[in-house]
Structure 1
Amino acid sequence: MYETLTYSGGVHKSEEIRELIEDLGGFILQENVLQMDLILNMAIPIDDVDRIKEKAKELLGKISVAPMAGCEIAIVSPTLARHHLPHAACDISEYLRRFGAKDNMIGLARGAGKGTAGITEYEKRLIEEHDIAIYALGSFKQCIMDKTFLFDDIDIPVIVTGAPEIDINDLPGADEYVSGLGRIPRRLKRGENIRALRKLVEVVEDVLDKKRKDIALDPPLAPSILVKNAIENQVPAISEIISPTPVTSQLDGVRVKLDYDKYNEEIANVMVNDKHLGEIADIKKSQMYDYILVKLLSESAIV
């Protein structure tokens, strides 16, 4: 069992904590360098968490639990227009990243008003490549209830946010609803906004825990963090990617930021626990920039 943690500290001597993670049999999930500061999301064997905390203290850094590390979340807004973005949706995105989440902003093509709102099949497939989807909707109860067609047939867990109180039974297709997060033309810095964001974090953690338990009933042959590590070590082209998180972990797979047509065979031949990755996973073209999407097969699905 692994614990997901976030290390926040300086770049100076940061190689020491990287080496310790490797020595303990852990994995680096995501790494961001901001000038002289380092943010490191990691998965560490539970029994060795104290050793990581001791090293962080020695380096004058901080360790915090990252319950959303290793997952990919879609933050969906009806449009990219200013009356939907950037305030509420972007602040939701930024806040979730503090807890280890890797999220992507998705603005639908047709959402300026109840009469023209819509979602395409391509957009549905793109959203369903993630672990969960958070729909950042508006401030009017009836408007939100009229837009359930945006998510009522999405095949991953859906969390809807909006300003008014709404009974979840009035939102077919939604797994959870969080109020207090409607269209706000400013940053979410006031007390009631922070409380709503904290509530959203609790709901996201609960939904992810439920999905992890469902996966554990029929798990893949190898966890996604092990697959991520194998790809990074065996595919030289990964080191040439300049995008953040070139191999992004998901609960049931990884997204590899390489062109599918050029690299899919190389990814399929990566060795994981004496098996080729193509034998234990579906490898397909992502809807996002023609990246490679690896979805791990469960044990019962592998012949």
Structure 2
Amino acid sequence: MKFSNYLIGVLNLATIGLSVPIIGGGIWLATKHDTDCVRFLQWPIIIIGVFLLIVSVAGFVGGCFGISCLLWIYLFVMFLLILSLLCFTVFAFVVTHDGAGHALAGKGFKEYRLGDYSTWLQNKVDNMKNWDRIKSCLSDTQVCNALNEEYPTTDAFSNSQLSPLQSGCCKPPSACGYTFENATLWVNPTNLSADRDCLLWNNQNLCFSCDSCRAGLLQNIKQDWHKAAILNAVILIFLIVVYSIGCCAFRNARREGAFSPYGKGYV
């Protein structure tokens, strides 16, 4: 009887520990300069982690002190939480499945196309009001500032390993045929009809209004969110195992007369 109490308490202590990497994953996303500009992505992870922490504390207290009402609430809410985490993890994998960089002949970097990514992600950056805010935030990160010093020549730039944001936002698409002056100064395009971004490029605002910049942001988001989804999937599997053991322990405790559904005490 006491063993069941302590087992339930220990299992809830484990779920308290599980909440830490979930919250940490959301905070990690918030510290990334790209996802910091798209705040709708990290908050679901942080909220789930905090909610798991609160519920696990309730289960821990209920298990250690035999407060059955807390345990009943814990088991019910934990089931809903696991279901929510499962739905969120599946959704994260689905929306980050599509999209990849396109390799270019003789170039060390890749280029990115907005249409390659999931419709849901595209809709988040297609809205002009949203994009104006995101664009302003990206500009403040000064993601393009160091390129001129790092890649002073055409050859150095062609062989560079640009990040998706740098490739999409700091230069015009290669198909436009612009001539390299420096990493952020391009002139004399030869094929403006190759891509609508060719007309959006200018040497003052660079390509922050381009679809390629939106695509570069989504590629970074995809990579970061995919990592967070993998972490969530691992935690979810462990959480289901812990919850299943907790249910068995709680059932055994009730069979032994340890808990009553009406409050603290014995049946």
Q: Structure 1-normalised TM-score?
A: 0.23
Considering only CA atoms, is the larger Rg found in Structure 1 or Structure 2? Answer: 2
Q: Which one has the bigger helix percentage?
A: 2
Q: Larger relative CO (CA 8 A, sep 6+): 1 or 2? A: 2
